[in-house]
A and B are shown apart, each in its own frame.
Chain A
């Protein structure tokens, strides 16, 4: 049956004979099926994640059932549900394109009324791995908490309510943010959000260590007491209250969740109607008057002419303006500082941990041309000799050094100050310089030999499908090679410590500096002719994003 064959009424648009909800459910299933049909890799990924989710969910249900009767059961279950609800709220911000039916702008041209549309979207959202996981969790939660007839009664209501609330929360947040995500600034923010997570993990790790020391689950009880009254977790909390006989509390908690669901649906409908009928942000931005004026501004007038300054200026602008480059740099700077410093604060580190900063930043040299995306053609058209390629790579290395050298100095010095171990500082500095030089050298060679595309959308994807192996060779092979290249300096430092030549450790600073500079120079020399000879191949490799 095709749309073209359907009889068309001459008078008025036909009212839909079937409900919208089954159509959307079928659409969701079809999208899922077609997505899997596209490639065997995707099918494998889906099956693996399904199996993992099921295993995880089964483990969780089992764990929750075992928790039944434990005095902290309520606390754990309530917090767990709260975290999952929070996850539902923030996930669409990070994975905006994860679900085609999630993007209401695709439905704009269809004659749909908001109410049936929302119902249909809500039901179709219940299909997928995420909802399945949530269902397992909700069922496990009430299994852990429900005692007696009242408990079971509340549980029967709480499970679907929690599910609906999670999905509605996700949808409402996603819809409210589609405008943001469809504008360039919004997408830039979403890309930067990746580094919030990367840095956040370091702190969570730190906090979890603290929690482990402080006395276990009972420290969480006051938090849970608050979370019990927050929608998302309150439906599950009501089961706990009802099982204890506190029916008024249970009813109130259940009502909070119901009220929250209604409020979310209302907000969702509001933003959906606005989104589908009002002009989009980019249209408004394009209608704004342009900035006028011309002429060169400060910095560019000062720089010398030639490729080196031109390339450096472009690279520095990209560090400041391109969300992907900026995220990589900020993550490297933050993690490079956090790891040695947090370890030093905890008293477990060594000044040599500060070399981590040089290592993290040296990794930015890898896949230089992938960072250009397919715009690399502009570079390729101006490289006609190994000399051009050498100057291009050297300028990019200069940018790296411009940011990394002062940073390494500061991290090494602060780590030494926190640990009070000034004696090892020269060794750590020398090692950092040697490591940095080695990473620049291997990074330049890897950029020429193993370039790969970096997808521009999304915070978490740094390699396009199919080039994972290439990226792996480039980064890990390069890091091993860099370690080997720096090994003479590593060996010399270790020997000085073992042989108790601490007085001569200062020699490592000029030694590491000279060694690093020589290795970097040699690496650039090796990479340059390979870059110049492989321009079309590099362009093809970096144009897949």
Chain B
């Protein structure tokens, strides 16, 4: 709590929208963001403002550029072009302000797997400059809430996928960040762990913090998020509250399929033998 309270007092001078109250400052503001890998354009000119204090979903099919975008927003990947502000501070010009305010759970990157779960939290918390006693207190609580207390002394290398996501989440939450970025936090996670993660995240956003997470599971996004940005082929196709993006469509799933241009694709009669006489 304390970390966040500090940041609220020094928002003067940040370029908030004209006449906007402090709460109106977006959690993330992205302008003209580009990233190419060789000939492949992964992110092509994104402009996006993610509202603060909300559960924000970044949805899109595989290869839409979600991970690339989140990596650039969190400072783990250098954009070719464009500016990114998190909590009013430029990610690349002002890393001191940004890095202390964000928590990150990336996808596809390792953890320090030869540490036990508890050691990993202790390492991460102290590296972030938190006092040791405080780190240990928070780690104990997080391990309990995330149902990892029983395996806290096991090496992370021996953890299952769900346990890895949970310990990664604990490490991302340890310093009580203002904005939490989660890349596919539910991918490969069993339903029990998913429910645990969900509970923790809901509690965290209730305190006024922002969660930005990427997913391609629409049901999940629909049940969790207040605000959604739909991404496909490196561009933002739609953004807004859940209702705005859903529009007249019966579900987010069908609205999404329409937005990314995949609606109405039918299996046709090419598999007509399937399910026929055996």
Chain B residues engaging chain A, CB cutoff 8 angstroms: 74-78, 95-96, 98-100, 102, 104, 106, 108-115, 118-119, 122-124, 126-129, 131-132, 136, 140, 143, 149-155, 157-158, 160, 171, 271, 273-274, 278
Contact = CB atoms under 8 A, between A and B. Distances in A.
Contacts of B112: 314, 318, 372, 375, 378
A381 B76 CA distance: 8
11 contacts: A4-B274, A290-B151, A294-B143, A314-B123, A318-B114, A378-B124, A379-B127, A380-B76, A384-B100, A385-B95, A535-B76
A375 B111 contact: yes
Contacts of B115: 314, 317
A377 B171 CA distance: 12
A294 B110 contact: no
A208 B99 CA distance: 58
B109 A374 contact: yes
Chain A, interface size category, equals: 35 or more
B127 A307 contact: yes
B95 A384 contact: yes
Given A317-B115, A382-B127, A291 B99 contact: no
Given A378-B112, A381-B74, A539-B76, A291 B153 contact: yes
A435 to B, nearest CB: 30
Contacts of B128: 382
Given A383-B99, A535-B75, 5 more contacts: A305-B131, A314-B112, A378-B112, A382-B128, A537-B78
A321 B104 contact: no
The 3 A-B residue pairs whose C-beta atoms are closest, nearest first, are A384-B95, A310-B126, A290-B150
A287 to B, nearest CB: 12
A278 interface: no
A379 B99 CA distance: 11
In this complex, which of A8, A286, A300 has the most chain B Cβ atoms within 10 angstroms of its Cβ? Answer: A300
Contacts of A462: none
A377 B131 contact: no
A377 B96 contact: no
A292 B109 contact: no
Contacts of B104: 377, 381
A244 interface: no
Nearest to B108: A374
A317 B116 CA distance: 10
A377 B106 contact: yes
Contact of A294 (B152, B154, B171): B152
A539 B110 CA distance: 11
Contacts of A383: 99
A184 B159 CA distance: 11
A184 B149 contact: no
Interface string A340-382: 0000000000000000000000000000000011110111111
A381 B151 CA distance: 26
A60 interface: no
Interface of A: 4-5, 8, 10, 184, 285-286, 290-294, 296, 300, 305-307, 309-311, 313-314, 317-318, 321-322, 372-375, 377-385, 535-537, 539-540, 543
A8 B111 CA distance: 47
Given A10-B278, A291-B153, A321-B114, A305 B132 contact: yes
A371 to B, nearest CB: 11
Contacts of A375: 109-113
Contacts of A307: 126-127, 129
Given A294-B149, A296-B136, A378-B124, A536 B114 contact: no
A8 B276 CA distance: 11
Nearest to A380: B76
Q: Name, among B114, B143, B151, B271, the residue most crowded by chain A CB atoms within 10 Å (CB to CB).
A: B114
Contacts of B278: 8, 10
A438 to B, nearest CB: 29
Contacts of B153: 291, 293
Given A291-B153, A378-B171, A382-B128, A373 B74 contact: no
Contacts of A294: 118, 140, 143, 149, 152
Contact of A378 (B108, B111, B140, B160): B111
A540 B77 CA distance: 8
A37 to B, nearest CB: 21
Most buried by A among B106, B123, B158: B123
Contact of A292 (B98, B136, B150): B150
A311 B109 contact: no
B154 A382 contact: no
A381 B61 CA distance: 27
Contacts of B149: 294
Nearest to B103: A381
Contacts of A382: 99, 124, 127-128
Contacts of B157: 184
A309 B126 CA distance: 9
Contacts of B129: 306-307
A285 B155 CA distance: 13
Interface centre among B99, B112, B149, B158 (most CB of A within 10 A): B112
B155 A377 contact: no
A184 B154 CA distance: 13
Nearest to B149: A294
Contacts of A539: 76-77
B122 A300 contact: yes
Contacts of A384: 95-96, 98-100
A394 to B, nearest CB: 14
A380 B171 CA distance: 14
Nearest to A290: B150
B158 A184 contact: yes
A290 B95 CA distance: 40
B142 to A, nearest CB: 12
A311 B127 contact: yes
A329 to B, nearest CB: 14
B135 to A, nearest CB: 9
A83 B229 CA distance: 64
Contact of A381 (B75, B77, B96): B75
